[in-house]
Each structure stands twice: as structure tokens, then as C-alpha cells.
Amino acid sequence: MQDIFAVNEGHAGENAELFKRKGVFVINLMASPGAGKTSFILGTISGLRERYKIAVIEGDLASKVDSERIRSQGVQSIQINTGGGCHLEANMIKQAIKHLDLDGIDLLIIENVGNLVCPADFSLGESARVVILSVPEGDDKPLKYPFIFQRCDVLVVNKIDMLELTDFNMKRLEDVMRNLNSDVKILLLSCRTASGLDAWIDWVEKELNREGDIG
């Protein structure tokens, strides 16, 4: 396993160096199946497409449904089917970006395979790690799967329009997250109603501008 991780880190470092050189801000988006990753990406595209050039890499066990939904918005999208693999690896990204014009991209969103375990172990060369937790999943997920929540830069709590229908305790979640990851930014939103989406768009824009200043 140490050899596998070492090889992956090597590819991730090469990806990160290339992204930095091209001025591309890269988000590694992770969540359970059904948490709302693709809807979240579509909302992000809608909020940023007039000002920034966006591309998406879709990771899934099989099918190209999500990738087709992204392409229907006029956005470059590459599908990676892992054929049963529970996560994306840096070399997969290295191969996929050969099919993208990085000089014409400001933001690259990588939708990882739906899983709260394996994706946390494999860096892809990303600029930021974003985890989506949906309200129906419960507020105890960071206790059950701490590693992925410890390593994320942003935690997006999705489907807040369902809060009144569940026993999800937002304060309990925030307390657990502060203990696990004191630097994490927590954003609340509903992809269905677009409530809270502006705060996410603002965060991405600040990061894009920071990336541009560095570049």
C-alpha cells in the first residue's frame, strides 16, 4: 500500500505542478452517492459560466449519464469509468487532462466516485478538497468517516430544505467538525432551491482570483 500511495503522490505532484503553471484552480469533489454532487456542479456552472471557463472530470463506476448532463450545458466534460474501483487516482486524472485544453480553463471540477472512504486517501493534484454531506445522511457521518472530513477545505451541507423533516442537528455537526478540522469552511445550501449557493460561488471566485494573482 505504501508503494501504491507513493506512486500516486508522484503523479499528483506532477498534476499539481501542471495546473499551477496553467493557472487552473482544481476542486476534488467528494461525497456519498446521492448527496447531490452533479446538481452541485450544475449550480456552480450556472453561477460562474459567464465569468470563467469551466471543465469537469466525472468519475463513476460505470455509465456516462452525469458527463452528458454536464456537456448539455456547453461545458467540457471527460468521463472516467473506474469499472468497479471506488475512487479516482492521480494517474487517471493525468491521462484525462490530455483531452482538455488547460490553457482555456480557469476552473476544473473533478467529481470523485461516490464514497466517503477511499477517495480521501488519494490526492489528485487538486487545489482544494470539497466534501458534500446531505441532510438525509445524518449529522454523524464525520464521526463514522473522520478521515475524509479531516482533510477537506470546505464542507458543503446540502439539502438544507429537508432539515425540518429530519433530526439532523446542525450545531452538533459544527462542533464535531471544529474538533476534527478547525480550519474547515462550512457552507449550507440547497441545490433544489439554490438557497446558499451564492456563498459557495463567492468562495470559489475568491480562490480563482487568488490563483490568478499567484499565477
Q: Tens digit of pLDDT for each residue in 38-88?
A: 999 999 999 999 999 999 999 987 667 777 888 888 899 999 988 778 899
Q: Calculate the average pLDDT of the chain.
A: 93
- Most distant pair of Cα atoms in the chain: their distance: 47
Which amino acid does the sequence have at 105? I
Of the pLDDT bands very low, low, confident and very high (cuts 50, 70, 90), residue 104 is: very high
Mean pLDDT value across residues 127-132: 98
Tens-digit pLDDT profile for residues 6-28: 999 999 999 999 999 999 999 99
Inter-CA distances, 36 with 53, 85, 93, 107, 191, Å: 22, 20, 22, 19, 7
pLDDT of 2 reads: 67
pLDDT of 90 strictly over 60? yes
pLDDT of 165 strictly over 80? yes
- CA 133 to centroid of chain Cα atoms: 11
Q: How far apart are CA 168 and CA 93, in angstroms?
A: 35
pLDDT of 64 reads: 72
pLDDT of 68 reads: 85
pLDDT of 57 reads: 95
pLDDT of 4 reads: 80
Q: How far apart are CA 192 and CA 130, in angstroms?
A: 19
Higher local confidence (pLDDT), 204 or 1: 204
Mean pLDDT value across residues 156-165: 97
pLDDT of 214 strictly over 70? no
Q: Which domains does the chain have, with CATH numbers?
A: 2-209 (3.40.50.300)
Higher local confidence (pLDDT), 173 or 60: 173
